[in-house]
């Protein structure tokens, strides 16, 4: 188990060092700001959604390794998915991170964040990008806060 945990940690650190989709989206038509006051993580998420499909997703901002890695992997995993698929994935990720029963949800590579559940103060770092995603897709006008 500790080998697996090391591997997960390496994946998170790699995404923190070299975040994927850390840029602006040229033709963004959805955007949301996310803020996690507990840790100070801030993210601006931009999406291009066409015909119900997320064509592009990227983020900018500053935060801890977990928030950055989570935004990096979130954007990489939603590009090309329909809004319905993104919604379903959001719920599985949230279940993985906060679910009381500890069920292993089918979240693919995002399983690297499962260990975050053991650190309640960091869960909001991992969910920040996902809350921003929900806000962007559902057109929330106010910046989202994890509080």
Contact set with Zn ion (CB under 5 A): 39, 41, 64, 67, 125
CB nearer Zn ion, residue 20 or residue 42? 42
CB nearer Zn ion, residue 11 or residue 39? 39
Q: Which residue has the tokens 């890695």?
A: 69
CB nearer Zn ion, residue 25 or residue 45? 45
Q: In DSSP terms, which residues pair with 56 in a beta bridge?
A: 48
Cβ 32 to Zn ion shortest distance, Å: 17
CB nearer Zn ion, residue 28 or residue 39? 39
Give residues with Cβ within 8 angstroms of 85, minimum separation 6: none
Alpha carbon separation from 1 to 4, 5, 8, 115 (Å, rounded): 5, 6, 11, 11
Cβ 106 to Zn ion shortest distance, Å: 25
Cβ 124 to Zn ion shortest distance, Å: 7
Instruction: Find the angle CA(145)-CA(127)-CA(65) to the nearest 5 degrees.
Output: 100
In b/e form, how buried is each residue of 9-47, taking b as 16+ CB within 10 angstroms? eebbeebbeebbbeeebeebebebbbbbeebebbbbbbb
Cβ 121 to Zn ion shortest distance, Å: 9
CB nearer Zn ion, residue 63 or residue 134? 63
Bridge-based pairing of strands 53-62 and 30-36 is unpaired
Cβ 116 to Zn ion shortest distance, Å: 10
């Amino acid at each position: 188990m500790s080998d697996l945990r090391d591997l997960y940690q390496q994946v998170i650190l790699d995404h923190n060092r070299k975040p994927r989709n850390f840029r602006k989206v040229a033709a963004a038509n959805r955007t949301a700001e996310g803020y996690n006051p507990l840790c100070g993580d801030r993210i601006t998420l931009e999406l291009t959604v066409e015909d119900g499909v997320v064509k592009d997703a990227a983020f900018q901002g500053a935060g801890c390794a977990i928030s950055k890695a989570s935004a990096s992997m979130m954007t990489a995993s939603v590009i090309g998915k329909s809004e319905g698929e993104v919604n379903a994935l959001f719920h599985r990720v949230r279940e993985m991170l906060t679910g009381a029963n500890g069920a292993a949800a089918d979240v693919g590579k995002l399983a690297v964040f499962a260990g975050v559940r053991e650190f309640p103060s960091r869960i909001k770092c991992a969910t920040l990008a996902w809350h921003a995603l929900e806000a962007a897709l559902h057109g929330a006008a106010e910046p989202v806060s994890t509080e």
